[in-house]
Amino acid sequence: MPDGFRLLSGYFDRAAQEALLTDIRAVVAEAPLFTPAMPRTGKAFSVRMSNCGPLGWVADRAGYRYQPTHPVTERPWPAMPARVLSAWRDLCPGAPEPEACLINFYASGARMGLHQDRDEARFDVPVLSISLGATAVFRLGGPARKAPTRSFRLASGDVVVLGGDARLAYHGVDRTIPGSSTLVKDDGRINLTLRRVSE
């Protein structure tokens, strides 16, 4: 595994997961899920997204970018929940505060291809990822797209930190496991990705 990769299984217990899910539902009520599209082709992602925090990540024909407003409602993103910020401060001590919390919603059959998180101004700050709901088959590689990969499962309440050499590792979600969610209905999965965007 690349240096700087950490998997904290069960970081959020069931009660904490339920509380965090309530927080995220409140965010999505204010900033509804939208369907991003690939920049060149306009092909829709299989996941739907929203964001919270000062900035939000969006993707459309104009490209990948962070912006301070929802692409549909044009309203500012809601504030990041305190529980999310608490996890960041606990697991990324000394790091500057996150500016974006991307919310990915995986319905049954959704996936995320191998990619790097590199739309940020600096790569010395970790990326933190929180899983809620259905178990995901997560794939992690190296800094090159063709580097060998390893797959493992991320269950509800698990947290992944990508820091150090792992910060620019290729990663993605091959699939979710049917029948694995007792938190999110209809085998849904919610992934929260916290990032520092600016210097």
Contact in structure between 20 and 12 (CB atoms under 8 Å) = yes
CA distances from 8 to 83, 110, 154, 159 (A): 16, 24, 10, 5
In degrees and rounded to multiples of 5, residue 63 shows phi and psi of 125, -175
State yes or no: pLDDT of 29 exceeds 90. Answer: yes
- Domain of 132, in residue numbers: 5-195
Considering Cα of 155, then 157, then 158, then 162, what sign does the dihedral take? positive
**Distance separating alpha carbons of residues 196 and 100, to the nearest angstrom:** 7
State yes or no: pLDDT of 8 exceeds 90. Answer: yes
142-180 per-position pLDDT tens digit: 999 999 999 999 999 999 999 999 999 999 999 999 999
State yes or no: pLDDT of 193 exceeds 90. Answer: yes
**Distance separating alpha carbons of residues 199 and 114, to the nearest angstrom:** 26
**If you average pLDDT over residues 52-75, what whole number do you get?**
96
112-143 per-position pLDDT tens digit: 999 999 999 999 999 999 999 999 999 999 99
Q: Specify the pLDDT at position 178.
A: 95
**Distance separating alpha carbons of residues 117 and 33, to the nearest angstrom:** 21
How many structural domains are present in the chain?
Answer: 1
Listing DSSP states for 103-128 in one string gives: EEEE-TT--EEEE----SS-SSS-EE
CA 152 from centre of chain: 17
Instruction: Identify the DSSP state of 183.
Output: S
pLDDT above 70 covers what percent of the chain?
100
Q: What is the CATH number of the domain that holds 144?
A: 2.60.120.590
- State both tokens at 18: 């339920």
Contact in structure between 48 and 105 (CB atoms under 8 Å) = yes
Q: Specify the pLDDT at position 40.
A: 85
CA distances from 31 to 12, 25, 34, 97, 163 (A): 24, 10, 9, 21, 29
State yes or no: pLDDT of 182 exceeds 90. Answer: yes
Which pLDDT band holds residue 2 (cuts at 50, 70, 90)?
confident
**If you average pLDDT over residues 17-42, what whole number do you get?**
96
Contacts of 133 (CB under 8 A, 6+ apart): 106, 156, 181, 183, 184, 187, 188, 189, 190
Q: Specify the pLDDT at position 152.
A: 93
The β-bridge relationship of strands 127-133 and 63-67 is unpaired
Q: Specify the pLDDT at position 1.
A: 79
**Distance separating alpha carbons of residues 135 and 155, to the nearest angstrom:** 4
Q: What is the pTM of this model?
A: 0.95
75-123 per-position pLDDT tens digit: 999 999 999 999 999 999 999 999 999 999 999 889 999 999 999 999 9
